[in-house]
Structure 1
C-alpha cells in the first residue's frame, strides 16, 4: 500500500492578506502574482500546512481542533474538497 500523500504550503505569512469579509479572504500569492478569493476554512488550512505538512486526515484533525468542532466524516470530506481546490490553484502541493 502506497503511503498517503502529505500536503505542503508556503508559510502563511508569505501571502499578504488584502482583505477579509465574513467567511471570505482575498489573498495575494506572490509566487504566481495571482490574487485568490478563499472561503473559510481555506485560510486556516493554508496556515496549518505552512506550519507543518500533513495528510488530509491529519489536517482535518488539526483544523477541527483549531475551530473547536468534532472530527467526523463531513469534516474530512470538506477538507478533502478544499485541498483539491487549493492544489488546483497552486497554493498547496503534494509530497
Structure 2
C-alpha cells in the first residue's frame, strides 16, 4: 500500500511539473504578442485619458460673467456634471496606473 501511494504521489508530482513546464512555454510564446498589443494600445489610451481633462469654457449669453465648460472631445458632456466627475476620477486612476505599465 505504501509503495502504491508513493508511486501515485510521484506521478502527481511529475504531472504538476509537466503542467508548470507547459505553462511556462505558453507564457514565453504569448508574451511577445502581449507586449506588441500593449505597445500599440498605450498611446491611444494615454491620449484619450489626457483628453478627458481638457474642457472648453464658453460665456453664457445672458450673463457676461458666467461660464459653462464642456469636454473638448465631446461638447455634449458638461464639465460640471457628475458624469464628468466620474470620467475624471477614472482618468486620474488611469494616469496613476499608466507609469506602472
Q: TM-score of the superposition, structure 1-length normalised?
A: 0.33
Higher Rg of the two aligned structures = 2
Higher RCO (CA-CA < 8 Å; seq separation 6+): 1
Q: TM-score of the superposition, structure 2-length normalised?
A: 0.32
Which structure has the highest helix share of the two? 2
Which structure has the highest strand share of the two? 1
